[in-house]
Structure 1
Amino acid sequence: MQGTRVYLVRHGETEWNNSGRYQGHSDVALSSKGRRQAELLRERFRHISLDGVYSSDLSRARETAATIAAPHGLEVNTVTGLREINFGTWEGLTYQEIIARFPREWEEWRQDPGNRIVPGGESFQQVKERVWEAFNGIVRQEKGRSILLVAHGGSLRTLICAILELDLTAVWRFRLDNTGVSIVDCYDDKHILVLLNDTHHLETLGGPDGSGIL
């Protein structure tokens, strides 16, 4: 039985990742380091067969995807449903600034990320629903093929929780580094997580530093 192989990739680093600012729907470009990470990822994927490339419509994901797609002669298909969580009034703020200004809302969100809505933004349940719908639509369209999907730390976490049928409190239980690679094999009756957050292509940069969890 032939499945659909999906390579899940988090975008390269941005200056907001580096400074610990929550990006959400803000369209923050890749930093010079993020572009170098994407170039290293391009070399990793150069000899991997890809039939299609998809990304969030935000530039940090789109540019990462385009860098990887170039040697394959593939266009990037942008999908709004793959966007990062909307952080509303928290966008552009650091963790320290958020807990100082929104201590109650922050704690409620950390304890129950699935149901608590970020002020002016989304809950992780809302993110999971739109990302899961987008993902399944892509898999149906690309059935039996090998595809690359570039998105964001938060949106990919919710997707992995959906694949593994985990409660959304599990989004805090694993890391997804900038340009970390995960692999999912999709079949009609199940999805199998094959690889999670592999970053060996970053070894020449000293490996991942874990900056910017979202």
Structure 2
Amino acid sequence: MSLPLRLYLIRHGETLWSLSGQHTGRTEIPLTAHGEEMARGLGQRLQGIAFTHVLSSPRLRARKTCELAGLGQPDGEPDLAEWDYGDYEGKRSMDIRKERPGWTIFRDGAPNGETPQQVSDRADRLIARLIALDGNVALFSHGHFGCALATRWIGLPIIEAQHFQLDPASLSLLGNAPSRPEVRVIALWNAAR
């Protein structure tokens, strides 16, 4: 008998750009010393959990968080990558809104980057592969994509991801309702150590 699927969604530790609020999609930014400490702290929270799969965004900050958390070398999963911010890479939302009042990544996307529909489709594609797995699955990812994934997990349109927040080195849990396994739920969200 297979174990129920439980997705442990983990955002990478702190980087200089996560501190400053700069959008970090494809740029390889290392963890700060504090970010490394945060990742090690995740290891204490994850200790004793038997994972059937450990998957990570290809970005260094996510892979390093996984390693420092004590889960070894993860399997690369390109669909766990952060939003491609295109022309907004390295920019802060508050600066973008000076030129585009009311802008939100989840409605407007980024010029020369991914659209909300592309990110929604990517999350759906990943979910279709994840639901074929069972047991505890660790997913090391990023802030905006993690919010998009959770939103799509519970069947909401991607615009609703604007109501979610993922802090660095946070842990969230996606699964199914115990009494109604066909219903997907967010069992834990944005838990800090």
Report the TM-score when normalising by structure 2: 0.88
Q: How many equivalent residue pairs? A: 189
What secondary structure is seen at the aligned counterpart in 2 of 1:156?
A: helix
Comparing 164-173 and 20-29, the one that deviates more: 164-173
Instruction: Give 1:95 shift.
Output: 2.9
Instruction: Give 1:145 shift.
Output: 1.6
Deviations 1:52-81 (A, max 9, x none): 2101001111111122244xxx53011111
CA contact (8 A) 1:7 1:147 kept: yes
Q: Structure 1 residues 68 and 51, CA, compared in 2 at 3 Å: closer, same or farther? A: farther
1:58 equivalent to 2:59? Answer yes
Partner of 1:81: 79
Cα distance in 2 for residues equivalent to 1:160 and 1:96: 24
Equivalent of residue 99 in structure 1, options 92, 97, 100: 97
Instruction: Give 1:147 shift.
Output: 1.2
Cα distance in 2 for residues equivalent to 1:177 and 1:59: 17
Instruction: Give 1:40 shift.
Output: 0.4
CA contact (8 A) 1:139 1:186 kept: no
- RMSD (CA atoms): 2.1
In structure 1, runs of 5+ residues without a counterpart are 202-214
Deviations 1:27-73 (A, max 9, x none): 21111111110000011111222222101001111111122244xxx
Bigger share in helix: 1
CA contact (8 A) 2:127 2:153 kept: no
In structure 2, runs of 5+ residues without a counterpart are none
What secondary structure is seen at the aligned counterpart in 2 of 1:84?
A: coil
1:131 equivalent to 2:128? Answer no
CA contact (8 A) 1:57 1:79 kept: yes
CA contact (8 A) 1:12 1:179 kept: yes
Bigger share in strand: 2
CA contact (8 A) 2:63 2:73 kept: no
Partner of 1:7: 8
CA contact (8 A) 1:180 1:198 kept: yes
Report the TM-score when normalising by structure 1: 0.80
Residue 88 of structure 2 aligns with an amino acid whose one-letter code is W
Instruction: Give 1:186 shift.
Output: 4.8
What secondary structure is seen at the aligned counterpart in 2 of 1:51?
A: strand
Partner of 1:189: 182
Cα distance in 1 for residues equivalent to 2:127 and 2:156: 17
What secondary structure is seen at the aligned counterpart in 2 of 1:113?
A: helix
